[in-house]
Amino acid sequence: MRNAYKKLIINQRRNNKIINELKVDNIEDKSEKCPYCECTEFIKFGSYKGIQRYRCKNTKCEKTFTKESNNPFRCSKKFKENWVKYYDVFINGLTLRECAKALNITLVTSFYWRHRFLHDLKIKNHIERIDSYVEFTKLVTTENFKGSRNINTKERDKIVTINGVNDSINIISVIAGRRYFGFNEIKKKLIQRIDEKAYIVGMIDARLDYFCKVFIEVNKSKLNEKIEKNTHRKYSIKAKLWLKKFRGIASKYLSDYLSLRAFEYKNNGEYKNCIPIEERIKFKINLGVEISTYITWNSIKLKELEV
């Protein structure tokens, strides 16, 4: 098994170099994407009234759009007028029904607006590869089909998520596997999210710990002795407790909620041991609010679990 891990790590290092060499911009603005399926590959497709149009290269979509299609307030006058108010009640932990009542909107609209914010946070705070000193922990949750109308099984798998927090409080949450976490899950989901120069530490889980030690050995990673260690070993435990306040989350939306958790954790200073615990457990976000992304209702409803 040790040799298998070594081979995996070396191969991933080669793959990273190839990926970096092959990166090519499809259009001038790399942040653009198809507003219907979120595919980042598309081509110029004529113009309309002087506005450049694009066509999605996803064969299942192939719809046309303009840059204006990604306007966060398009087709939603009410959201444009009330999004700041909604953010205030949403970030303070109110339920969907309470948010709906506070702003005099329907429960469906409240659900959609919440996921607009979750999607925005996930996109803005996405980290392709985590680096520096990283502490990894494992989060296990029971599969949840909340809101689904077509459930084909009564079984509920255990969903394994690997959370990584580095010394800059950058956080990744990788939905890694079902029922089990081992070599194949590391190969398919985790290793490509780790910078080869990172010094990684696996906590609590034996397989995670073993992989991290081999990773350090193969890449000859060096630890900065000045970095404070064992600061985030309870991150996944706290995240699981935090998730309970939502009274059940559909597993297909788990990664979105974990993005919110990461946002709160970083900006509340919850990780700082020098702050009294009474202050650390207060969830008060001190950042200004803004939203700059767009996601359709269908993209939210048709989302699927990543494993």
The pTM of the full predicted model, rounded to 2 decimals, is: 0.81
Residue-wise pLDDT tens digits, 80-90: 889 989 988 88
Domain extents in the chain: 32-70, 133-288
Average confidence (pLDDT) over 274-295: 58
Nearest-Å Rg of the Cα atoms of the chain is 21
Average confidence (pLDDT) over 102-131: 93
Residue-wise pLDDT tens digits, 23-77: 444 444 444 778 778 788 999 998 877 778 899 999 888 888 887 666 777 777 8
Q: Which comes out higher in pLDDT, residue 19 or 239?
A: 239
Residue type (1 letter), 103? L
Residue-wise pLDDT tens digits, 175-212: 999 999 999 999 999 999 999 999 999 998 999 999 99
Average pLDDT, the chain: 85
pLDDT of amino acid 24: 44
